[in-house]
Structure 1
């Protein structure tokens, strides 16, 4: 089966379009991505990438113009009967490696950690879901010595509203997501940098159209 996803994005006056063609080969998927930059000045390699993915197992992403490869491997184990999921990501060009881990204490509480081997930076997060509708997500960044916090509210089956604040950058954000954006919905976001005198909001719109052939 072949599926196509067209993504359009507008942010701060800049427009972007990305088309992804996916070939499903059993448990493995082959993705091809092109952007509008590939065709602006005639056919080129700009904005062209390929990826090979087995969901929940591995992802290999190849950026054609940069000749760069990203490797990502996923694994899981149980700690005191609780599921612990790991994601290992390595960027060959930047020689950068990051490990993410998520421990599900129960259906409402999760702990997460992110560690960068090159920088030594560690970020810890916590997620609490109240009655399946409200999600509270604080996190602490050791490198920046700062707290971030996000609060999401599910309005109905199709709509989620989220507010967030990054203390290190003093950026306040608000977004509205209609349907899962990965399956054809859209997301409208606005952010304000409280450290700037103008405090003029930046608006972005992200939408996707998904077609299966």
Structure 2
């Protein structure tokens, strides 16, 4: 049986839409993603990305417009009997390489880091889960010398509310993910740039549908 899912999103501030279709063919996912540029002034290859992925092992993305291939490989090693999840990413045309690592200390604590080889930029994030319903995630960016903070909480119906603040950009954000067995999964987002004189909120909406063929 082939399983598929559809994800659609709309950015109200930029009047831009995006969509992706994922088809699962027995462990291997085939994905096609588009942006609003794909359909502006008629169908085109702008904003089109084709992907082949084996979750937990590798992803291969091909940006049709840029003719760029991005490889991503995942692996897990043990550090003092703790699992360390590693992700290596490289883009051929953009010539960018990054390494991500997440060390799971226990069920409530983990430390993540991201390093960009070209820029030398490094970000470190600590994740703490409290009571199985609330997650607190402070993050430090060494390049920007700035802190980010995100707090999320799961509510009674399985939905998740998440607030975030980025000190380098002074952007305050709020996300609400609604899980529905009848209407699919919906994500509503709002953000405000506190550095702007006119602090106008920006809104986006995204929906995910799963179906079988």
TM-score between both structures, scaled by the size of structure 2: 0.91
8 Å Cα contact 2:16-2:35 kept in structure 1: no
Provide the rounded CA distance (Å) in 2 between the counterparts of 1:43 and 1:15: 15
Provide the rounded CA distance (Å) in 1 between the counterparts of 2:24 and 2:160: 30
Structure 1, unaligned runs of 5 or more: none
Question: For residues 11 and 87 of structure 1, do their structure 2 counterparts lie closer, same or farther at Cα, with a shift above 3 Å needed?
Answer: farther
RMSD of aligned residue pairs (Cα, Å): 1.9
- Post-superposition Cα deviations, 1:138-158, rounded to whole Å, max 9, x if no partner, equal 010000000100111111242
- Determine the structure 2 residue equivalent to 1:141: 141
Provide the rounded CA distance (Å) in 1 between the counterparts of 2:94 and 2:126: 29
- Once the 2 structures are TM-superposed, how far is the Cα of residue 34 of structure 1 from its aligned partner? 4.0
- Determine the structure 1 residue equivalent to 2:194: 194
Structure 2, unaligned runs of 5 or more: none
Question: For residues 109 and 117 of structure 1, do their structure 2 counterparts lie closer, same or farther at Cα, with a shift above 3 Å needed?
Answer: same
Provide the rounded CA distance (Å) in 1 between the counterparts of 2:171 and 2:38: 33
- Determine the structure 1 residue equivalent to 2:125: 125
- Post-superposition Cα deviations, 1:56-113, rounded to whole Å, max 9, x if no partner, equal 0000001112111110000001101111000011111210011000000000000000
TM-score between both structures, scaled by the size of structure 1: 0.91
**2:89 pairs with 1:102:** no
Number of residue pairs aligned between Structure 1 and Structure 2: 210
Question: For residues 6 and 162 of structure 1, do their structure 2 counterparts lie closer, same or farther at Cα, with a shift above 3 Å needed?
Answer: closer
- Once the 2 structures are TM-superposed, how far is the Cα of residue 194 of structure 1 from its aligned partner? 1.2
8 Å Cα contact 2:7-2:206 kept in structure 1: no
